[in-house]
Amino acid sequence: METIEVRITNLIKALRKKRHYSQAEVAESLAVPLRTYQSWEREYASNIANLERIGQLYGISLESLVCLAAGDDQNDLERISFPSNDCVDAIFSGATEKHLAIQYQHLFNSNLPLSEQIANCIRDAYFSRSMEGRIKQTERSKGLEQRVAAILELPLDHVRVVQTGAIQFQVMKEMILGYHGAAWLQEIAAHHDRFSVGISNGYTIARIMDHLERGEASNFQFFPLNFTMTPADFSITATSLISSFRYRNEGRCSRANPITEPEVYSAMQLADAVIMGIGTFRTEGLYSRMIRATLGSKRLGEIINGGAIGDLNYYLLNRDGEIIHVPDLVGEMGSESHAALIKAVSLDVISNKANHGCKTIIAAAGAHKASQVSIAFKHKYANHLLIDSSLAEALLK
């Protein structure tokens, strides 16, 4: 007779497949390492709180989830109706959280904060591809591209601005930017037999990688710009994203370090392009959670109070664009230090590549990142820019 642990394992696997999610997509939604989630589908041995989080992702109460796992009727799963994505049109039209809560209250009835429920609803539509047509209909803004290129003193073909209109939600802006970013990379790589790209971490870069199908991007070779050696090894770290691209649809587990530090340096010398996300401490994000999980909330507060306003490839930057060195957090890749939780290619190396013609791209969405983007280009850490219209308009102000 099957144990309850085996039944839970089978159930969460069936729920994921019913929603057409990959293991990596569920891991990202739950903000757990991919390897952790994969272990749950092999033999669930985690705590009840994590099971409740899985239920919340699918809109199922913990009590209902346990009853499903314990029941004998295998048809119970077929009677589960997942939240619909009827509100996607409203989101594209600029609906606010308040509007969605009133107009589509039947979709948002779990104990999660409303913002998280809306984000999950958007992810449902995205990962099931039901909004793919809408995303592909979005367009670039040539007028904003000209104006942003002028203020940053960049050639016009070095800037892409994607029109996100009245959309209020960051997660949706990143999804739209991902589609256009993948198209831009493929356009740049079209005349290369081999196109080597270094990538950093981030949600926008994860969405770009979603749209790079291996068959259509067979000339791409990716390498990581950083290694994270923290317990909070999220599924959107550079190494996990590269492994997901390599082994997509093959069911292989993401490896922590696909290549070594010396190999990264060699790849960096030959890189045709580099693409980086840019972080901010103005809102709670991946980096804030990683620091809190590894060094504690007090240390995070000390870092922010010490002048850090954001990061580029994990290096903390202040308002003047100077690097704030935090040895226990970030160490330069190739250095002898083993104390740092993160090892990253230095910004000097990246800047040097940018100044010698390597296409060094910053990809970012959201007006709240304007000051960090301005700082990055003032210090010539990059020479190409992929942003959404809300960020472009903030830069122009």
Tell me if 331 sits within 8 A of 316, measured CB to CB. Answer: no
What's the pTM value of the predicted model, to 2 decimals?
0.81
Q: Which fold has domain 138-396?
A: Rossmann fold (3.40.50)
Six token digits for residue 22: 């990959």
Q: What is the pLDDT of residues 6-41, one digit of tens each?
A: 788 888 888 888 888 888 888 877 877 787 888 888
Superfamily holding 1-82: lambda repressor-like DNA-binding domains (1.10.260.40)
Q: What is the pLDDT of residues 104-135, one digit of tens each?
A: 776 676 667 888 878 877 877 787 677 888 89
Tell me if 123 sits within 8 A of 131, measured CB to CB. Answer: no
Tell me if 40 sits within 8 A of 5, measured CB to CB. Answer: no
What percent of the chain shows pLDDT beyond 70? 87
Instruction: Name residues whose C-beta falls within 8 Å of residue 126's C-beta, 6 or more positions apart in sequence.
Output: 135, 175
What are the structural domain ranges in the chain? 1-82, 86-131, 138-396
Asked if residue 300 has pLDDT above 50, the reply is: yes
Matching residue, tokens 């589609």 = 179
Instruction: Name residues whose C-beta falls within 8 Å of residue 343's C-beta, 6 or more positions apart in sequence.
Output: 226, 227, 229, 261, 330, 331, 332, 333, 335
